[in-house]
Amino acid sequence: MRLLSVVVALAVLAAPAATARGDEDDDVAQKSQKMKFTEKDGEILVTTKINKLFDSAAYEAIGSGFESTILIRIWVYKKGGSDPVAFTVLQRKVIYDMWDEVYEIQLDGPDGRSKQKVKYRAEALKLLTRIDALPIADAGDLAYEEHHYLTTVVELNPVSEETLAEVRRWLTKGGGGGLDRGGGLFGSMVSVFVNPKISDADRVMRLKSQPFYRPTP
Amino acid sequence: MKLLAVLAAVVTALAVAPEARAQDVPADDPDFGPVIVIEDIEVVGNRSTQADVIVRALPLEIGDALRAGDKRLRDARFKLLALGFFRDVTLGLRKGQERGRVVLTVTVVERGTVVLNRLWFGTSVSSPYWFGVDVAERNLLGTGLSLVGGAIYAGSGDVEGSRDQWAARLRIADPALLGTPYGIRGSIGWIHGSEPFRVAGEPADDRARNFEAFSYQRITARGGVTWDASAFTTFALEARLEAIDVDVPTSPTRALEDGRVSAVDLHLRPGSSEVVSVQVSLDRDSRPDPVLPRSGSRFAAQAELGSTLLGGSYDFASVDTRYERWWPIGKAAALGLRLKGGVVLGDPPRFDLIHVGDVDPLLTSRALGLTLSAASPGDLLDTGTAEASYGEVGGSVGVEYARHLFTRTSLIYGGDWFVGGGLWALSSRDDLALRDASVWRSLPVDLFLDAGLRLDTGLGVFELTIANALGRVPL
């Protein structure tokens, strides 16, 4: 029982290091980006771009006929705070209709869903990567003169945990035996095979804004 | 168990961080994208894998009409990667012969599909050395069939009556018969064994003179069908035929410390006997990363019924279960709970009983059915576990804390250090029935602790742990 207590204590000690925020990740470095913040009709709005998410391959893939999806998660934090003041999620999709030669775009956000069709890939990219006066928080949730900042995680073609589990399930599927009482994936110290890694998204970008505040009227 | 419940509640609370809300992504729109008809499917880049195997694994087929935003098109690449035959898969679409029709191009980059599943080696009093491997070809001749072969050799020690042991097993499986969720599998195994049993000495005295060994031979054939009920869940139904030929000593006894002599039940028919049984099993694994798990769970259960009515020499039933659940603690750590248990009823052959190495991670596990060590458990809690060797009721519960150690590189995808521990128990039904105290006080329960390192690399997975080392070189 003492051992279990120790493990619980370890877990609790580790908890403050947990990623309860959107600005920590082991694999992708966070970059600073200047963003424009305004207040209108009781809401804080942000304007910025995420076009660096697309390299040339990703840009070409927009015209492949397959769906490209961008998932944008946005958090607003009080400077020095650990809990987000507000959270917003956006999803943007594009598919090229190779017979009508148009790009179909679907935008999901706080205001609901909208669809558009555009002729050129560059137009499609602009719609996908421009964040224009997006409401990110109720103004009342941000006290006057207190500094806040925004963090965002942008993923291109994110892969669900279920799909990742399916892709790697062959690792633990038996080779025809049944439950091996003494076995398991580990236990033999080593298992050697060609082991390609499947990423949980084609590309990931993490951005942090400059601090901003609401001036006292 | 109350502590475990509290632990689970703490971890669940920790896991529900604000980021969890990010899962609230909008629902799919079934009308998004133009309607397309799959006119043809072309496979490119396959040098050894048959094109039929690839096409059958796709969640769509020629003639299907669907929206370009359909989930099946998004999933197609991952269905192929899930075969485990390819390093990468790229899909492309191009215009077909008529308006609305498209040709789906599948470009694969094949990978080596030979897998070194297990490596056995070590030393003990009863077997001064053993060495074995288990190797699989997961895509036999490009057909999608899996062929697995394992072999082990163990030298004999100073235990009276012992001999060199060896065992081999060959397994073949088609996990997706003609592209359906149904599969078939079969195996054949041969064991030339030597089984030690205690005849004298204190329970913790593992010197060779306290043991004798008897020789046996087992030839086992298994065959059955599997059903992938979902991407994560597989059921199996299997039959087992086994011939056992054993040279059991006449009236084996053990000299107890107080001078008395007691009979030893080896749970085997003298001479030749047979095991005929049927087995059902379930395996559900939802861990996104089974190597360095952060979330998800795995549940596996197996029930077996052997009967003289089926033509065998033994009437028995057994149930084995295993459950593992992981809770993320942020992105860098996770807490895992592992439960394992089994019960054997009736009159099973000795080899179907639960061995102490099956439940105590600090001891040597059986390999391909061979008992490689007669070492007794440490009895750290002084509950009499040093006596345990085989039992009819056994299991373990463990908790593990794992934390990210390495930054990802091109070759090392990730590494964890971990620390864990738990309790295991093993007993016979008679000992539990004839107890003079509560079950908890009568059940031999012991502690295990473990710590180590796990690496997920482009060359496979590696684990360095204290328990693994102790299982190879018992102290």
Q: What is the pLDDT of residue B332?
A: 86
Contacts of B6 in chain A (CB under 8 A): 8
Question: Taking CA atoms, what residue in A is nearest to B297?
Answer: A165
Residue A173 has a CB neighbour count (10 Å cut-off) of 18
Would the CB atoms of A179 and B285 count as touching at under 8 Å?
no
pLDDT tens for A86-96 read 999 999 999 99
From chain A, the residues in CB contact with B366 under 8 A are: 181-182
| Amino acid letter, residue B443 | L
Name residues 101-130 of chain B within 8 A of A (Cβ). Answer: 102, 111-120
Residue A216 lies in a domain: no
- Whether B17 and B150 map to the same domain: the answer is no
Position A148 in a domain: yes
Domain span at A79: 2-208
Structure tokens at A13: 């000690």
Secondary structure (3-state) at A83: coil
> Is residue A114 a part of any domain in this protein?
yes
Last residue of a domain, one of B45, B80, B110: B110
Give the span between the Cα atoms of B449 and B182, in whole angstroms.
40
What is the total count of domains within chain B? 2
Q: Which domain holds residue B437?
A: 114-472
> Which of B23, B78, B233, B419 would best serve as a mutation to test chain A binding (most A beta carbons within 10 A)?
B78
Say if residue B99 is in the same domain as residue B128.
no
The answer to whether B399 touches B10, Cβ cutoff 8 Å, is no
Same domain membership, residue B296 and residue B172: yes
What pLDDT score does B238 carry?
Answer: 96
Between strands B65-67 and A36-40, the pairing is: unpaired
φ, ψ of residue B77 in degrees (nearest 5): -60, -40
C-alpha to C-alpha distance for B106 and B49, rounded to whole angstroms: 13
Express as a percent the part of chain A with pLDDT over 70. Answer: 76
Q: Assess whether B94 and B147 both reside in one domain.
A: no
B33 touches chain A (CB under 8 A): yes
Residue of B nearest to A153 (CA): B22
- Tell me if A57 is assigned to some domain: yes
B333 and B468 co-located in one domain: yes
Residue A49 covered by a domain: yes
* Residue B155 tokens, joined: 């030298």
For residue B74, the chain A residues in CB contact (below 8 A) are 66-67
Task: Provide the CATH number for the domain around residue B10.
Answer: 3.10.20.310
Q: What is the pTM of this model?
A: 0.78
Q: Tokens for B43? A: 């496979």
The reply to whether residue A173 touches residue B283, judged by beta carbons under 8 angstroms, is yes
Question: Are the C-beta atoms of residues B299 and B323 closer than 8 Å to each other?
Answer: yes
Report the C-alpha gap between A202 and A184 in whole angstroms: 31
Phi/psi of residue B254, each to 5°? Answer: -130, 130
| Residues β-bridged to residue B396 | B340, B424
| Cβ–Cβ gap A67/B335 under 8 Å | no
| ipTM value greater than 0.85 | no
Residue A213 within any structural domain of the chain:
no
Q: What is the pLDDT of residue B61?
A: 92
pLDDT, one tens digit for every residue, chain B (475 residues): 444 454 444 444 444 333 433 456 778 888 899 999 999 999 999 999 999 999 999 999 999 999 999 989 988 999 999 888 998 899 999 999 999 999 999 999 998 888 888 888 999 988 999 999 999 898 999 998 999 999 999 999 899 999 999 999 999 999 889 888 999 999 999 999 999 999 998 888 888 899 999 999 999 999 999 999 988 899 999 999 999 999 888 888 898 888 888 888 889 999 999 999 999 999 998 888 888 888 899 999 999 999 999 999 999 999 999 999 999 998 789 999 999 999 999 999 999 999 999 999 889 889 999 999 988 888 888 887 888 889 999 999 999 999 988 766 667 778 899 999 999 999 988 877 777 777 666 778 999 999 999 888 877 888 888 888 887 776 6
Same domain, B143 and B90: no
Q: How many CB pairs under 8 A join A and B?
A: 309
B106 and B209 in one domain?
no
- Number of domains composing chain A: 1
Backbone angles phi, psi at B256, to 5 degrees: -80, 165
Q: Are residues B223 and B132 in the same domain?
A: yes
Answer whether residue A134 is part of any domain: yes
Cβ atoms B365, A182 nearer than 8 A: yes
Strand (E) positions, B32-129?
A: 35-44, 65-67, 86-95, 101-110, 114-122
- The tens digit of pLDDT for each residue in B139-167 reads 999 998 999 999 999 999 899 999 999 99
CA distance to B235, B388, B421, B425, B440, per residue, from B445 (Å)? 32, 10, 13, 4, 8
Instruction: Identify whether residues B82 and B124 lie together within a single domain.
Output: no
- Determine phi and psi for B444, rounding to 5 degrees: -65, 115
Last residue of a domain, one of B110, B133, B152: B110
CATH of residue B287's domain is 2.40.160.50
Strand partners of residue A69 = A93
Q: Catalogue the E-assigned strands of B199-295.
A: 211-228, 233-247, 253-255, 261-263, 271-285
